[in-house]
Amino acid sequence: MNKKFIYIISCITAMTMIVSSCTSPANDLMKGYVSKVDVSSLEPIDENLKEAILNFSWNMFKENSQNTGNLMISPVSIYTALAMTLNGADGDTKAAMLEALSAKGITEEDLNAGMKSWISSLTNDDRIAKLNVANSIWYRNSFEADEKFLQKNADYYSASIKKLDFSKEDSVNTINDWVKDSTNGTIDKIIDNINDDTMMYLINAIYFKGDWKDQFKANNTYKQPFNSPTDVIDTDFMHRRGDIGYLNGDGVTGVILPYLDEQFAFIALLPEEGKTTRELIDNFSALNLIKLLENKKNANIDLSLPKFEGKYEDSLNDELAKLGMDIAFDPNLADFSLMSKSHKRELFINNVKHKTFIRVDEKGTEAAAVTSVEMNVTGMPMDVQKVVFDRPFIYGIIDVTTGIPLFMGVLENPDAE
C-alpha cells in the first residue's frame, strides 16, 4: 500500500462552522448536467443508511489501521466517491460494492437520496463554520459516457462533469486545480499522471474549518512529554480546565469537544493502560462508538491535548477488497457497464486513492480529504478528572446528530515528519 504521513491531526466538526454549498468551485465544468432533484422533497437519512455508513466507517478505519504510524482517513469522502461509482456498476460487481458499503438490502435509489439529504443537511448556508463537500467526474474525450449515469450523479451528488483530452499534460493540472480549490489549498493534488488506459476519475473532496466553542489559550500551550511507541518526545500540548464532555467505557477514556456549530465535535479516545490503539480498534465497533457517545457525561476536566498538523496518503484497494468488493478491481470480472453508452463490460477500478490533511491548534480545527476512483478500461462532575493524551490515541470529527465520523485517525507521534 502507498502510504505517506507527515503529521497527523483529527477533529470533530461541531459548533462554529461556516458552511458552503455542495457545489464545485470550478466554473469551467460542463453545465449540461445539473441536479434535477429538489432536496426539500427528500426524507432525512434513515436508520438503515445511517447504520450502513457507521459500519463502513469503522470497518474501513479498522482495515486502514493495519498500516503503521500516524494515519487519518475520511470515511464519508470514501463512501461518497464509491456511492457515485456504484451508479455505474451492475450485476455481481454492484452487489459486492453494496456489501462493502455495508448497504446490502438498501436500494441504489434510497442510498442516493439518503446521501443527498444528509450531506445537504451538513452543508446549509446558515452554519458558522466552513464545510464544503464537492464531487466531480472527469472522463476521456474519446470515451462515450452513459448520460443516465452522469445525470444520476449530478442529481444526487451535485457532481460537476467534464470531458477532457487526457493525452494533454494540462489535464492533470486541471483536475488537481479543482482538488486544490475544493480543499482551500490544503491538498494540492490527487493524481500525478494519467495512463493511456484510464478512462474516468470520480472524485470527492471535503473541507472543514471550525473554531472551538471554548478555545484553548495560546499562553497555556507548552511542551511536555508524549510517549510514542519508540521513544519519548517533547511536544507542544494545549491545556484547558473546565466543564468538558467526558467519555468512559469499554476500555476507553476520552473527551468530546464541540465547535461553535454544535452539529460537529472533536473526539479523542485513549486506550486503557497497557493497550495499544490498534488493539482498541480491533476490539471496538461502530456500535461501541455510538454507545460511548450516548453515555457522555460532563465533568470538570483538566485536559492536555497535543497540538498537531498532518497529512496522510494511501491507496485503499487492499482495504476495499477485504471488505468484499475485490471483483471491482478485477479487469476480467468487474461490471461497470452502466458507465458507458455502449454498456460494454470494459471498465474496472484501477485505484482508489485517498489523501487527508488536518491541523489542530488553540483556535480550532482545519481538515480536508480527497478520494479519487480511477476507472481504467478493460465520570464525576464535582471532582477534577485529569485526562492527558500523552500516548498514542484515536481521534475523529463526527456529525453529532448521526454519530457518523467525517474523519478518523490515530496519533502515534505528534512530531512525525
pLDDT score of 18: 30
In a domain, 105, yes or no: yes
Q: Do 328 and 237 reside in the same domain of the chain?
A: no
pLDDT score of 13: 31
Buried b (16+ CB within 10 A) or exposed e, 42-54: beebeeebbbbbb
Using DSSP's 3-state secondary structure scheme, residue 161 falls into strand
Q: Do 261 and 403 reside in the same domain of the chain?
A: yes
pLDDT score of 394: 84
In a domain, 94, yes or no: yes
Buried b (16+ CB within 10 A) or exposed e, 59-95: bbbbbbbebebbbbbbbbbbbbbbbbbbbbbbeebbb
CA angle 245, 246, 247 (to 5 degrees): 125
Contact 364, 17 (CB under 8 A): no
Plot region of 181 (φ>0 → left; ψ -120 to 50 → alpha; else → beta): alpha
Per-residue pLDDT band at 383 (split at 50, 70, 90): low
Evaluate if residue 27 carries a pLDDT over 90: no
pLDDT score of 296: 93
In a domain, 167, yes or no: yes
Evaluate if residue 7 carries a pLDDT over 60: no
pLDDT score of 72: 96
The whole-number average pLDDT for the span 142-151 is 95
Evaluate if residue 26 carries a pLDDT over 60: no
**Long-range contacts, 187-192 (Cβ 8 Å, 24+):** 187/311, 187/355, 187/356, 187/357, 187/368, 187/369, 187/370, 190/353, 190/355, 190/370, 190/372, 191/353, 191/372, 191/374
In a domain, 416, yes or no: no
Q: Do 359 and 386 reside in the same domain of the chain?
A: no
pLDDT score of 169: 87
pLDDT score of 171: 96
pLDDT score of 91: 97
Q: Do 84 and 184 reside in the same domain of the chain?
A: yes
pLDDT score of 386: 85
In a domain, 266, yes or no: yes
Query: How far is 130 from 122, CA to CA, in rounded Å?
Result: 10
Q: Do 90 and 188 reside in the same domain of the chain?
A: yes
- What average pLDDT is seen over the chain? 89
Evaluate if residue 382 carries a pLDDT over 80: no
Per-residue pLDDT band at 16 (split at 50, 70, 90): very low
Number of folded domains that form the chain: 2
Query: How far is 387 from 403, CA to CA, in rounded Å?
Result: 23
Per-residue pLDDT band at 20 (split at 50, 70, 90): very low
Paired with 395 in beta bridges are: 268, 409
Per-residue pLDDT band at 10 (split at 50, 70, 90): very low
In the chain, the percentage of residues whose pLDDT exceeds 70 is 91
Q: Which residue has the higher pLDDT, 332 or 393?
A: 332
Q: Do 263 and 329 reside in the same domain of the chain?
A: no
In a domain, 417, yes or no: no
CB atoms within 10 A of CB 109: 10
The whole-number average pLDDT for the span 39-43 is 88
Q: Do 296 and 336 reside in the same domain of the chain?
A: no
Q: Do 108 and 241 reside in the same domain of the chain?
A: no
Q: Do 87 and 73 reside in the same domain of the chain?
A: yes
Q: What is the CATH number of the domain that holds 403?
A: 2.30.39.10
Per-residue pLDDT band at 4 (split at 50, 70, 90): very low
Q: Do 44 and 167 reside in the same domain of the chain?
A: yes
Evaluate if residue 168 carries a pLDDT over 70: yes
Q: How far apart are the first and last CA of the chain?
A: 19
Give the helix/strand (H/E) hosting 195.
none
Give the helix/strand (H/E) hosting 396.
strand 393-399
Q: Which domain holds residue 204?
A: 3-211+309-376
What pLDDT, in 10s, does the model give residues 206-263? 999 999 999 999 999 999 999 999 999 999 999 999 999 999 988 899 999 999 999 9
Give me the amino acid identity at 405: P
Q: What is the CATH number of the domain that holds 126?
A: 3.30.497.10
Comparing 225-234, 256-265, 346-355, 377-386, which segment has the lowest mean pLDDT?
A: 377-386
Q: Do 89 and 112 reside in the same domain of the chain?
A: yes
Evaluate if residue 295 carries a pLDDT over 50: yes
pTM, to two decimals: 0.88
Query: How far is 71 from 99, CA to CA, in rounded Å?
Result: 25
pLDDT score of 28: 44
Q: Which residue has the higher pLDDT, 56 or 2?
A: 56
- The CA-atom distances, in angstroms, between 323 and each of 92, 167, 209, 307, 372 are 15, 34, 31, 34, 18
In the chain, the percentage of residues whose pLDDT exceeds 90 is 76
Q: Do 154 and 90 reside in the same domain of the chain?
A: yes
